[in-house]
Chain A
Amino acid sequence: MINFSSTGKSKSLMISRRMFILSAAKAIVFTGIFARLVSLQINESKKYRTLSDKNRFREWRLAPQRGVIQDFFGKEIASNEKVYQLHITPENTVDIEILFVRLKNILNLSNEKIFSLKRLIKKQKPWEPIIVSDNLTWSEFSRVNLFLHELQGVEPIVSVARVYSETSTSHVVGYVSQVSKTDLKNKKYIKDMAVRGIAVGKTGLENKLDKDIIGKVGFQRYEVNAYGKRIRQIYIDKGQVGLNYRTTIDVEVQNFVSKIIENKAAAVCVMDIYNGDIITMASSPTYDPNAFVHGVKQVYWDQLLQHRDKPLMNKAISGLYPPGSTIKTIVALSALENDIVSPRLSVNCKGVTELYGEKFHCWKKKGHGLMNMRSAIQRSCDVYFYEIARRLGVDRLSITAKKFGLGQKILEGFSEERAGVVPNTKWKKKHIGQNWYLGETLHSGIGQGYFLSTPLQLCLMTAQIANGGFKIKPRILIDPKDNTDNLRDYIKFKNENPNDPLPTDLLVANFDLNPLFRNQENINFVKDAMYAATNEPGGTSYRSRINNKKFMFAGKTGSSQIKRFTAKQRELEVKQDDIDYLDRDHALFVAFAPVRDPKYAISVLVEHGGSGSSAAAPVAKQVIKKVLERDSFRISQISRKGDEI
């Protein structure tokens, strides 16, 4: 039996004392817990609420539908088609390996494809769907649907994808394809969209308009549980279809042109000389833009890259060619505008001229005889223009050439467009690091040497001569907000008041025009000389003339040298057809039509076509006829432009 009184009492004192200490400790701990609650639930509540929402909600992005691109008459040249896709959500599958084996049998998937899909699955979250195929045929799609009950985690989806109706417009419209690393770097909006399976514009209008035509990404917000399973949809934003665009291109003309130049390496541009509308911008050979939409096949890609005539290149804006004799219009104009020579200046062409011991040949070995400026343009006499160029000097020539649109990019937003070169003394010093030689001025005078231009630039140059020397801005898209057509208004005014020639400053004030001339007579002189070149015997393009007044055109041929003829070749009078294809001259032709009341300008380039008169002018003849046949149709479309779009 334990002693109850004394030891029990001292023990109880001890217990109470120690309990007191313990109670104090408890109070401290509870205060600590209290403080923690304050910190978590009051001070940091906002942060944790955000984290909690981040847990709860998950967003699935929906790829938007691209806008449509139409031609001038509303025909859709880039539109969207229904495609059948197959998605797999890895977390919903029972066994991904077995699933792939099943799919392989149903869809004929290649082992490489399966391998890359598996790698993709490893990289992303299990609830994110992967696209097994984005373009199933209807029979594949229905086969998948037939076996769907055995394919857990597989979702057949009907979606839309880009489709191009024409191959003639491939270069203008461009194509879309899967997003590459470069796209992510260069196009910030693609990165921001962060949506799987979106197609991005790579070239042409698709690239230029990409930001607006691509549409706005939609998203679905789901509440998900800890395993990523969707519990319920909280919010859906369907996104927006991209903007639609109408172009100035006439697909019928484009197809017609494309057909003509089908078997050549060539480019043709047709432009409305008053408002700069590009009616046609064709490049050949062309390619199938639809081949890129779902990822281009390696075989086709290699074929395109290795092709001698570079089908992927839009020769109309990316191809650089010496303008050849077509530049003579500008050389003449520049000489007249700068009062260097009179059109009556005559030069005796003996087929060759000499400068400091160097020989400069005319294309006509026998020589043209006595030439004035009009006949020199008509017959494209080189010796005459050597003389003009020598007197004019390259710097003055370059000013005029640049004024008329050469040596600079003239379309906005076409990343593949190239500026070309209008050489002058400064340019040579800067880019080549050498002084200018007078001999080079002579070469420049006939559009050879350093001169490089695109067919579209030559078309613009011609258009600006044809319209009476007024600056126009080439355009390929119809801006529904901008309906002005100042130049046409002016022409209308002038036709109604034929005896009231307005001085230049009044033109600028009343019609907001930008004249490129000092004296319009000089422009008219050049136009007349071009008329002679096509429609008077002896003219370089006389054989391609059209006698019908309605289609009569005026043009200037040109051939740009690839390789200078050796003295021996010159002696033997070697024909273009006799030399290697790749050494033959490029054939060029620029023209405007109809002669009486010009409406359109055209430029034709045929790579290694030989001479402008034999290879390029006949093409232009056919195209001009087609364009003018459709002119009234086009005008009627313009008059009701107000209610379009």
Chain B
Amino acid sequence: MFAPRSIHSSTSFSSKIISMDFTLIFSILILGIVSMFAMYSTANGSFDYHTKNHIIRFVIFFFFFLTISFFQVNFWYQSSTIIYLFFFILLLGVKYFGLTSSGSQRWINFYFMNLQPSELMKIGLILFLAKYYHRISTNDINRIKFLFFPIVSLIAPVLLVISQPDLGTSILIAAGGIIVVWLAGVRIKFFAYLTVLFISLTPIAISFLKPYQKARILTFLNPDRDPLGAGYQIIQSKIAIGSGGLFGKGFLNGSQSYLDFLPEKHTDFIFTLFSEEFGFFGSLFILCLYALIIYRIVKIGHITRSNFGKLYCYGFSSAFFIYVAVNMGMVLGLLPIVGAPLPILSYGGSSMLAIMFGLGIAMSCKIYKDSPVN
């Protein structure tokens, strides 16, 4: 049933390449190319700082992704706790010597880029929990004692990120973690308890929210509440997408974006820009591309033997799905504006790095799908 170790170890480099998921690779590449065009358009058709940076980053991180893929899955299994701890330390570092920009402290300055450790933590937490649930026995999963670690490992970074403050990223980190816990088989009732607890804590949590965060939630509930203030982003985003129509206004012709009606157009609202210029068919194309990527990662999880690999791939694909769904839901006016980038398409090095790292480990699971982890 299991392939002998010898076969695995003797697998040649070329056969490793052959065993890669090329559909996934091409999907990523296409998305990357689309993102370059979109970034070019945000600069009204010029290679400005953002466009150049984005292209360079994509190229570097794409090779980073390929490199990661060739590490044995067992390596990632073994080092996942260290990776988690490393990311956690970085998060702590942000707290003490992070960079502050527009009121929140999220970045650490490395000389080549400003790193946002909270983005990396999205992957780190999934990795850590996948390993944890791989290790413990089925019987222990639902024991309270064994819930302690996951909860602590989840809540600690989330609290750190919330305090930056960065509500959006902290929600995404938590979502990734909770999904892994759920996939591992923790009983529904724990989630039910958690939900009840969460709801009962909501009033207290709200009192901790920054005024602008409260405003955003209220605005989501009624965007016309303050059309020139907090509701402005949602309204302008909907206008941009809606005015794109079936075929869009054409590349570089998105009036909403080039006349600056669209906020944050190269980060959170990149999908809006693309949607305005390429219309319904363009949006659908992007949506399908993301669906394909998610599907391919789920498929890797399906064929990989180890529970670590399964937990990781399923967890990561679901987290990836959530990133896409939250961002699109946000720009389409279905969710409040929480500041969640769209994977690969949005400008932002840390986000790209995290996603490529996550994809690399998934690809590693594909290449080493039959190798056991311990």
Chain A contacts to B: CB under 8 angstroms: 1-4, 7-8, 10-12, 14-16, 18-19, 22-23, 26, 29-30, 32-34, 36-38, 40-42, 44-45, 47-49, 51-53, 55-56, 223-227, 231
With A19-B183, A41-B241: A3-B310 Cβ-Cβ less than 8 Å: no
**Which B residues have a C-beta under 8 Å from some C-beta of A?**
133-139, 141, 179, 182-185, 236, 238-246, 255-256, 259-261, 275, 279-280, 283-284, 287, 291, 294, 298, 301-302, 307, 310-311, 314, 318, 321, 325, 328-329, 332-334, 372, 374
**Is A2 a contact of B246 with CB atoms below 8 Å?**
no
A41 touches B325 (CB 8 A): no
A2 with B134: CB separation less than 8 A: yes
Given contacts A34-B287, A45-B246, A52-B255, contact A22 B135 (CB under 8 A): no
Are A15 and B184 touching (Cβ within 8 A)?
yes
B134 close to A15 (CB less than 8 A):
no
The complex places the Cα of A8 from the Cα of B333 at a distance, in Å, of: 43
Contact B238 A48 (CB under 8 A): yes
Chain A min CB distance to B81 (Å):
15
Are B314 and A15 in contact, CB atoms less than 8 angstroms apart? Answer: yes
Given known contacts A23-B298, A226-B261, A55 and B256 CB-to-CB distance under 8 angstroms: yes
Q: Which residue of B lies closest to A34 (CB)?
A: B287
Interface of chain A, main secondary structure: helix
Could you tell me if B328 and A19 are in contact, using CB atoms closer than 8 angstroms?
no
A55 near B245 with CB under 8 A, answer no
* C-alpha gap A430/B90 in the complex (Å): 98
Inter-subunit contact A15/B298 (CB<8 Å): no
Describe B's contact surface by its main secondary structure. helix
Contact A15 B246 (CB under 8 A): no
A-B contact count (CB 8 A): 137
CB distance from A34 to the nearest CB of B (A): 6
A227→B260 contact, CB < 8 A: yes
Contacts of A53 in B (CB 8 A): 243
Do the beta carbons of B179 and A37 come within 8 Å of each other?
A: no
**B334 is contacted by which of A19, A36, A226 (Cβ under 8 Å)?**
A36
Chain A proximity of B227: nearest CB distance (Å): 11
B242 and A47 form a contact (CB under 8 A) = yes
Nearest 10 pairs of A and B residues by beta carbon = A48-B242, A52-B243, A14-B185, A41-B280, A226-B260, A45-B245, A225-B259, A48-B243, A49-B243, A40-B242
Known contacts A1-B374, A52-B239: does B280 contact A37 (CB below 8 Å)? yes
Which chain A residues border B328 with CB–CB below 8 Å? 33
Q: Which residues of B contact A16 (CB under 8 A)?
A: 302, 310
Q: Give the residues in chain B near A223, CB-CB below 8 Å.
A: 255, 259
Given contacts A2-B136, A2-B137, A7-B139, 10 further A-B contacts (CB under 8 A): A3-B137, A11-B184, A15-B185, A34-B287, A37-B332, A38-B280, A42-B280, A45-B244, A52-B256, A227-B260
Is the Cβ of B242 less than 8 Å from the Cβ of A45? yes
**Which of B242, B245, B279, B372 counts the most A-chain CB atoms under 10 A from its CB?**
B242
Question: Across the interface, do B294 and A56 meet the contact criterion of CB distance under 8 Å?
Answer: no
In angstroms, Cα B264 to Cα A398, docked, is 82
Q: Bound state CA distance, A56 and B276, in angstroms? A: 14
* B223, chain A: closest CB distance, angstroms: 13
Residues of A near B183 (CB, < 8 A) are 15, 18-19, 22
Q: What residues of B have a CB within 8 angstroms of the CB of A44 in the complex?
A: 242
Contact B259 A55 (CB under 8 A): yes
In the bound complex, do residue A42 and residue B243 qualify as a contact, i.e. CB atoms below 8 Å apart?
Answer: no
Q: What is the bound-complex CA distance between A34 and B275, given in angstroms?
A: 13
Report the minimum CB–CB distance from B281 to chain A (whole Å): 9
Chain B residues lying within 8 Å of A40, measured Cβ to Cβ, are 238, 241-242, 332
User: Given A33-B329, A40-B238, are A45 and B185 also a contact pair (CB < 8 Å)?
Assistant: no
CB B198 to nearest CB in A, in angstroms, measures 19
Chain A residues within an 8 Å CB radius of B241: 37, 40-41, 48
